[in-house]
């Protein structure tokens, strides 16, 4: 069948002489893979820059549950081109890698899609993004912080009373507790603390999601966000 859906580009792979296979997080269908013909051909109707990481597209696609690869009939950018900058690019690469390694094929998550498409950039975005995506994936850390249970255990996904190989320090545990209480607008941490918490949350994802391995884009963030 043919249908219209907005989509966010997660990954592209060259296919043949002029086409690409694009993995797209669609609002209606979840993650799908599409063959986009002619996108790498000089003078082709579809520009390759439409498929930059996390590009937001309006798409008309052919969809069949019997096929792992479907075709795109039409597509167009949902928003005007905006000027790129190193920080914005690093944040987009980071969010794209989180989604690419977290989401499963054919599992619609419209609320997560709406959040990703509209999330504003900020210094707090990497931490808040990891926590919000974890919420939609059902692996959100339990905020049971208390004086008796002040240490967050990455393996258990909750605050515990005693230290183990997978608990964070007391200072980092308290910072995570603050972030779990924070709104998107509230700033609660220094750059050094945010870096430490990003690294801790990446380790948390790796413990709780089987496909979340060899994550690299946070290292670029650490270099760019100075």
pLDDT digits (tens, 9 = 90+) for 9-31: 999 998 888 888 999 999 999 99
First CA to last CA across the chain, in angstroms? 48
Pair (100, 56) in one structural domain? no
Pair (153, 170) in one structural domain? yes
Pair (25, 101) in one structural domain? no
Pair (24, 92) in one structural domain? no
Pair (171, 211) in one structural domain? yes
Please tell me the distance from the alpha carbon of residue 141 to that of residue 124, in angstroms, as a whole number. 17
Q: Of 77, 95, 113, which one is at a domain's C-terminal end?
A: 77
Entry pTM = 0.90
| Tokens of residue 187, six digits | 């700033």
Q: Domain containing 127: what range?
A: 86-224
Three-state DSSP class for 177?
A: helix
Q: Of 29, 52, 77, which one is at a domain's C-terminal end?
A: 77
Please tell me the distance from the alpha carbon of residue 25 to that of residue 29, in angstroms, as a whole number. 8
Number of domains in the chain: 2
Q: The CATH number of the domain where 188 resides is what?
A: 1.20.1440.120
pLDDT reported for residue 145 = 97
Could you give the dihedral angle defined by the CA atoms of residues 124, 130, 133 and 137, in that order, rounded to the nearest 10 degrees? -160
**Residue pair 189/175 in contact by the 8 Å Cβ criterion:** yes
**Residue pair 157/142 in contact by the 8 Å Cβ criterion:** yes
pLDDT reported for residue 112 = 97
Could you give the dihedral angle defined by the CA atoms of residues 93, 99, 102 and 105, in that order, rounded to the nearest 10 degrees? -130
pLDDT reported for residue 81 = 66
The mean pLDDT values, 10 residues at a time, for the chain of 226 residues are 93 87 94 85 66 92 82 87 75 94 88 94 88 96 97 98 96 94 69 92 95 84 74
**Residue pair 188/171 in contact by the 8 Å Cβ criterion:** no
Q: Of 42, 77, 112, which one is at a domain's C-terminal end?
A: 77
pLDDT reported for residue 213 = 84
Pair (12, 51) in one structural domain? yes
Q: Measured over all CA atoms, what is the biggest interatomic distance in the chain, rounded to whole angstroms?
A: 65
Q: The CATH number of the domain where 45 resides is what?
A: 2.40.50.140
Three-state DSSP class for 103?
A: coil
Please tell me the distance from the alpha carbon of residue 55 to that of residue 62, in angstroms, as a whole number. 20
Pair (108, 185) in one structural domain? yes
Q: What are the angstrom distances between the C-alpha of 183 and each of 56, 57, 186, 187?
A: 25, 28, 5, 9
Please tell me the distance from the alpha carbon of residue 223 to that of residue 225, in angstroms, as a whole number. 6
pLDDT reported for residue 66 = 73
pLDDT reported for residue 115 = 96
């Amino acid at each position: 069948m043919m249908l219209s859906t907005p989509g966010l580009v997660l990954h592209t792979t060259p296919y043949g002489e002029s086409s690409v296979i694009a993995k797209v997080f669609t609002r209606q269908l979840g993650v799908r893979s599409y063959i986009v013909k002619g996108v790498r051909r000089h003078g082709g109707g579809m520009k390759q820059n439409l498929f930059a990481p996390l590009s937001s597209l309006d798409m008309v696609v052919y969809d069949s549950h019997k096929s792992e690869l479907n075709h795109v009939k039409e597509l167009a950018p949902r928003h005007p081109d905006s000027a790129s900058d190193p920080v914005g690019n690093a944040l987009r690469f980071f969010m794209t890698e989180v989604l690419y390694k977290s989401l499963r094929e054919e599992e619609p998550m419209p609320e997560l899609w709406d959040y990703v498409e509209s999330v504003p950039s900020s210094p707090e975005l990497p931490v808040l993004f990891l926590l919000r995506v974890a919420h939609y994936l059902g692996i959100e850390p339990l905020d049971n912080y208390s004086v008796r249970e002040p240490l967050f255990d990455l393996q258990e996904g909750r605050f515990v009373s005693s230290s183990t190989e997978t608990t964070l320090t007391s200072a980092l545990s308290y910072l995570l507790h603050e972030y779990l209480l924070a709104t998107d607008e509230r700033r609660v941490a220094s750059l050094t603390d945010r870096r430490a918490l990003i690294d801790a949350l990446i380790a948390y994802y790796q413990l709780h999601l089987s496909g979340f391995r060899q994550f690299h884009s946070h290292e670029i963030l650490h270099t760019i966000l100075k």
